[in-house]
A and B are shown apart, each in its own frame.
Chain A
Amino acid sequence: MREGKGPHLLLRLYRKTIVIIVLLVLWWILPQFIESMYFPPLGVILAEFRRNIENGELLINLYTSLRVSIIGLAVAEVLGISIGALIGWFKRVDRYLNALFQVMRCTSILALLPLFVLLFGAGELSKIIIIAWATIFPTMINTAQGVRNLEPVLVRSARSMGVRGVGLFLKIILPSASPYILAGFRLSASISLLVLVAAEMLGAAHGLGLMINDASRNFQVTRMYVGMLTIMILGVVLNAALVWLERRLTVWQERAVSA
Chain B
Amino acid sequence: MPESKEFQENACRIKAEDVGLVYHSKHRKNDPNAGSFRALQHVNISVGAGEFLSLVGPSGCGKSTFLYILSGLQRLSEGTAWINGTPITGPALDRGIIMQAYALFPWRTVRKNVEFGLEVKRISKKDRRAIAEQFIELVGLSEFADRYPYELSGGMKQRIAIARALAYDPDVLLMDEPFAAVDEQTRGLLHEELLRIWEKTNKTIIFVTHSIDESIFLADRVAVMTPCPGKIKEILQIDLPRPRTPAIKSSSEFGAYRNRVWQLLQNEGERTEEVITLDGRKHLSTVPQEVSI
Contacts and interface: CB of A to CB of B under 8 A. Distances in A.
A159 interface: yes
Interface in B135-187: 148-150, 168
Interface in A201-259: 251-254
Contacts of A163: 120
Nearest to B101: A153
B97 A172 contact: no
A162 interface: yes
A183 to B, nearest CB: 15
A176 B73 contact: no
A118 to B, nearest CB: 45
Contacts of A253: 106, 150
Contact of B91 (A161, A172, A254): A161
A159 B71 CA distance: 10
Contacts of B116: 158, 161, 171
B117 interface: yes
Contact of B150 (A175, A178, A252): A252
B48 interface: no
Interface string B92-112: 110111010101011111000
Contacts of B60: none
B105 A172 contact: yes
B72 interface: yes
A167 B106 contact: no
A154 interface: yes
A178 B107 contact: yes
Given A162-B120, A252-B150, A253-B150, A157 B103 contact: yes
B107 A159 contact: no
B92 to A, nearest CB: 6
A154 B93 contact: no
B91 A175 contact: no
A154 B99 CA distance: 10
Interface in B58-109: 71-73, 91-93, 95-97, 99, 101, 103, 105-109
A61 B81 CA distance: 68
Contact of A160 (B95, B101, B107): B95
Contact of B120 (A153, A156, A167): A167
B71 A160 contact: yes
Contact of B106 (A158, A159, A161, A252): A252
B255 to A, nearest CB: 37
Contacts of B71: 160
Interface of A: 153-154, 156-163, 167, 171-172, 175-176, 178, 251-254
Given A157-B97, A253-B150, 18 more contacts: A153-B103, A157-B99, A157-B105, A158-B105, A159-B73, A160-B71, A160-B91, A160-B96, A160-B97, A161-B96, A162-B91, A163-B120, A172-B105, A251-B148, A252-B106, A252-B148, A252-B149, A252-B150
Interface of B: 71-73, 91-93, 95-97, 99, 101, 103, 105-109, 116-117, 119-120, 148-150, 168
What are the 10 A-B residue pairs with the smallest beta carbon separation, nearest first?
A: A157-B103, A254-B150, A175-B107, A252-B148, A252-B107, A160-B97, A161-B117, A153-B103, A160-B91, A153-B101
27 contacts: A153-B101, A153-B103, A154-B103, A154-B105, A157-B97, A157-B103, A158-B116, A159-B73, A160-B71, A160-B72, A160-B96, A161-B91, A161-B93, A161-B168, A162-B120, A163-B120, A167-B120, A171-B116, A175-B107, A175-B108, A176-B106, A178-B107, A252-B108, A252-B109, A252-B150, A253-B106, A254-B150
